[in-house]
Each structure stands twice: as C-alpha cells, then as structure tokens.
C-alpha cells in the first residue's frame, strides 16, 4: 500500500492518497497573527469507509502534523482525533 500526504490549500485540508485514491482528509483553518507564527487549527478528520481500520487516520495525522511543523505553523488541535494523536505523539506538537 503506497500512500502520501499533501496539503490541498484550496480545500483547506491535508489529504492522504493511497495507491492514487483519496483515502481521507484533515480539515483546517489558518489564523495569521502579526509578529507570531500563523496558527493552523485542525477542525475535523475523515477517513473514507473503505480505508477505515487500516491505520490510515494515524498516517494522515502524522503527515499533516509534520507538514504543518515543516511550514512553521503553530498547531492548534480542536479535532478529537488530532488531540488524541498528539497525546500519543507529543514530539509532533509545537
């Protein structure tokens, strides 16, 4: 199973594609602040039904959080899935 996570800025979501098919998305809002890093607020995460139970949500969360960190964004987790993922992987919190 080949996967990649990308930022679809036009749709305000990080997407995970598995073998070329859209398998899930982590939705966000950006909140720029003058003199401070822009905040990325994760609001909701979805995994397509046919990909549930395969660890796709965790791969999506890891990829989205890594991309946000690499972009210098301040992570704010409102989505319960992202909150739980960060508790298990505090190294991805900033």
Q: Two tokens at 87?
A: 């508790």
Which tens digits make up the pLDDT trace of 36-92? 889 999 999 999 999 999 999 999 999 999 999 999 999 999 999 999 999 999 999
What the chain holds in terms of domains, given with CATH numbers, is: 3-92 (3.40.630.30)
* Mean pLDDT, residues 23-29 taken together: 98
Asked if residue 35 has pLDDT above 90, the reply is no
- pLDDT computed for residue 37 by the predictor: 83
Say what the pTM is: 0.94
Q: What are the structure tokens assigned to 73, written together?
A: 């964004």
Torsion of CA 61, 78, 72, 60, to 10 degrees: 10
pLDDT, position 36: 80
> How many C-beta atoms surround the C-beta of residue 83 within 10 A?
11
């Amino acid at each position: 199973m080949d996967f990649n996570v990308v930022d679809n800025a036009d749709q305000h979501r990080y997407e995970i594609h598995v073998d070329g098919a859209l398998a899930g998305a982590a939705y966000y809002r950006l909140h720029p602040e003058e003199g401070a890093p822009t905040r990325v607020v994760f609001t909701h995460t979805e995994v397509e039904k046919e990909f549930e139970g395969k660890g796709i949500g965790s791969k999506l969360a890891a990829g989205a959080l890594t991309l946000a960190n690499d972009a210098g964004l301040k992570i704010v987790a409102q989505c319960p899935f992202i909150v739980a993922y960060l508790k298990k992987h505090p190294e991805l919190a900033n």
